[in-house]
């Protein structure tokens, strides 16, 4: 029998897939939230922040440490995580972002890999998992939920999706209607001219870096709860977010949101498909590649030639 027929025959029913839809939407919501943060920073500074996941992971581990070893109230600890992520990202932006401001976007993006590797190393040193140690963050909202049909939905799942939606709407409105948002859009178009017009570009960049870090902290806490509190896992989840951003051609926040949701949902829906389950980690890569090829297929570029 043809392999595709075999695969089709072993597909789970829609009833079985419903539960996976819920988990996919929750994760997609967090990827969307992350994507928005990355897009805003990219559009303002030209930097695609590959350390987004690592910063969030670091913040989440700090929160874990404060809750489990210092006895801090967990909501306060989460606030510390979010603020730490904001400050760390801002610090990077103010030091290295400024120094690399005039460089090619690819150079600026690659530089954030350096921060990623440093953070990964420090996290491994501070929070080693030697001896089978495993850490976890459990949000209080995990213990509450409701059932839709036969599907259990936790409050955390709802919050993850809702935060993604809210951040997307708020950020879109902010960029369109606020003075600071307009300045950010102007800088995305042309930083030099924007500076010439008297916009305090460094201050605007600082806000973008800080905002990206705040979003990273929020995403870190949610992903630590939904996925795992593991430095490596959380750091490389940035791949899913990047894919969504690429599908949106690093410009549209709304498309980023929907792309992230689609990536999360497809990834989850493939889990019970035995023939494909081990390949579902390719989902973000495959979707991004398809999107880039399809969306750019009709682009006609005319390049003029200067006389000798």
Partner 1 sequence: MSIKHVVSRMRVGLALLSALALLALAGCGSSSSSSSSSAATSAAGGATSSSTAAAATGTGTSSSGGAVSVSSCGSKAGVAATGTPINIGTIDTHQPGTDFTDGPNMINAYFACVNANGGVNGHPLKLFVELDQSQPAQVAAAAKQLIQTDHVVAIDGVFDLLECTLDQSYWKQLGIYEMDAGIAPECWSTPNSAAVNMGPRYSSDGAVQYAINSVHASKIVFVQSNVPGTGYIAAGPAAVAAASHVPITELTENVPINDASSVALNLVDKAGPNGAVILNFTPPEALVILQAAQKLGLEDRVKSWGCSTPCDTDFLAKALGPKWNHKLFVNSELVDTDDHNGPEIQLYKAILTKYGSSVAGGIGSFSQMGFVLAKYLVQALDTAKGPYTMKTVNAAIVGIKSYHSVMQCEPWTYGKLALHIPNNTDYTVTPENGKMVTVQGCTKISAADPQIAQYRKAAAAAGIS
Residues lying near partner 1 in the complex (CB under 8 A) are found at 12, 16, 19-20, 23-24, 26-27, 48, 50, 105-106, 109-110, 120-121, 124-125, 128-136, 138, 142, 145, 152, 154, 156, 226-228, 230-233, 235-240, 242-243, 246, 249-251, 267-268, 271-272, 274, 277-278, 281, 284-285, 288-289, 292, 296, 299, 301-303
CB of 131 to partner 1, least distance (A): 2
- For the CA atoms of 277, 131, 129, 137, the dihedral, rounded to the nearest 10 degrees, stands at 80
Q: 87 vs 250, which CB is nearer to partner 1?
A: 250
Nearest to 26 by CA among 134, 193, 152: 152
| Contact residues for 58 (Cβ-Cβ < 8 A; gap 6+) | 84, 85, 88, 119, 122, 123, 220, 231
Q: 36 vs 287, which CB is nearer to partner 1?
A: 287
CB of 129 to partner 1, least distance (A): 4
Task: Write the burial class of residue 256 (CB in 10 Å: 0-12 exposed, 13-18 middle, 19+ buried).
Answer: buried
Q: 116 vs 214, which CB is nearer to partner 1?
A: 116
Contact 267, 21 (CB under 8 A): no
Q: 105 vs 258, which CB is nearer to partner 1?
A: 105
Q: 22 vs 66, which CB is nearer to partner 1?
A: 22
d(CA 159, CA 168) in angstroms, rounded, equals 14
CB atoms within 10 A of CB 176: 10
CB of 259 to partner 1, least distance (A): 13
């Amino acid at each position: 029998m043809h392999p595709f027929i075999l695969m089709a025959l072993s597909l789970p029913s829609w009833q079985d897939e419903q539960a996976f839809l819920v988990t996919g939407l929750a994760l997609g919501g967090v990827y969307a939230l992350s994507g928005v943060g990355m897009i805003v920073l990219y559009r303002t500074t030209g930097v695609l922040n590959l350390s987004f996941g690592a910063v969030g992971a670091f913040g989440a581990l700090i929160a874990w440490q404060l809750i489990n070893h210092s006895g801090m109230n967990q909501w306060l600890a989460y606030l510390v995580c979010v603020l730490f992520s904001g400050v760390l990202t801002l610090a990077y932006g103010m030091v290295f972002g400024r120094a690399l401001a005039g460089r090619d976007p690819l150079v600026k993006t690659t530089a954030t890999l350096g921060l990623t590797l440093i953070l990964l190393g420090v996290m491994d040193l501070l929070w080693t998992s030697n001896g089978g140690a495993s850490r976890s963050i459990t949000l209080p909202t995990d213990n509450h939920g409701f059932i839709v049909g036969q599907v259990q939905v936790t409050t955390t799942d709802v919050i993850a999706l809702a935060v993604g939606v809210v951040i997307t709407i708020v950020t879109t409105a902010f960029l369109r209607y606020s003075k600071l948002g307009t300045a950010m859009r102007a800088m995305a178009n042309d930083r030099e001219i924007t500076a010439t017009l008297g916009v305090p570009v460094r201050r605007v960049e600082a806000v973008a870096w800080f905002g990206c870090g705040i979003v990273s902290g929020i995403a870190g806490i949610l992903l630590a709860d939904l996925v795992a509190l593991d430095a490596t896992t959380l750091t490389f989840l940035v791949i899913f977010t990047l894919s969504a951003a690429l599908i949106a051609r690093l410009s549209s926040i709304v498309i980023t949101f929907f792309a992230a949701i689609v990536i999360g949902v497809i990834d989850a829906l493939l889990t019970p498909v035995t023939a494909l389950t081990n390949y579902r980690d390719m989902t973000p890569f495959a979707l991004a590649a398809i999107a880039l090829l399809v969306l750019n297929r009709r682009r006609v570029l005319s390049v003029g030639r200067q006389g000798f």
